[in-house]
Amino acid sequence: MKLYIASDIHGSAANLERLLNTIGAALDEDPNIRVVFLGDTYNHGPRNPFPERYSPMEVARMLNDAMQFITVIKGNCDSEVDEMISNFPIISDFNMEWEGVTLYFTHGHKFGPQKAPIGAKAGDVVFYGHTHVLKAENIDGINYVNPGSISLPFNNNPRTYAVLEGKEIQIRQIEDNKTILTYNF
């Protein structure tokens, strides 16, 4: 099974469409693919510029159409009103077992390299967003992976997402799906 992990859509229908086209092609080959969105789904936030083709309602339509294979986490820019346009739950942080370790999924404004999720131990992987900066590092034995942002990357990063297969994580550019970082845990 493969997991796609993306963060910080911030209402960009253009960039979500690019990612969903890539995922759609992958689903044709493997219908077991799952996608986790790490929050900040619809709103651009007061400190961010409007992203390309800013259209929260269009993003909601695309995600509603994909709800059979997505999980969406609540970020700091997400609100209760966002749930009203979503036909899927927007959930809190969660974890799952994978290849003998625990994977944690969080937006990153509460947990991340600055504060490990409760119960995280050496060897586990924490996927987080929030900072809009791609990163993969091991701190005190815990693996922290930020897939960057598909819409508003910071620090001159490209727009990116992550793919997890086995114990390998690839961070890929959204425009051409080129792998720019590979991390093994």
Percentages (nearest 5) of helix, strand, coil residues in the chain? 15, 30, 50
pLDDT along the chain (185 residues), means of 10: 97 98 95 97 89 96 97 95 94 97 98 97 98 98 98 97 98 97 98
Domain holding 25, by residue range, is 2-184
How far does the chain reach from its first CA to its final CA, in angstroms?
17
CB 93 within 8 A of CB 112: no
pLDDT tens by residue, 93-110:
999 999 999 999 999 999
Q: What pLDDT, on the 0 to 100 scale, is given for residue 44?
A: 87
CB 59 within 8 A of CB 19: no
Q: What pLDDT, on the 0 to 100 scale, is given for residue 101?
A: 97
- Counted domains in the chain: 1
CATH value at residue 7 = 3.60.21.10
pLDDT tens by residue, 170-181:
999 999 999 999
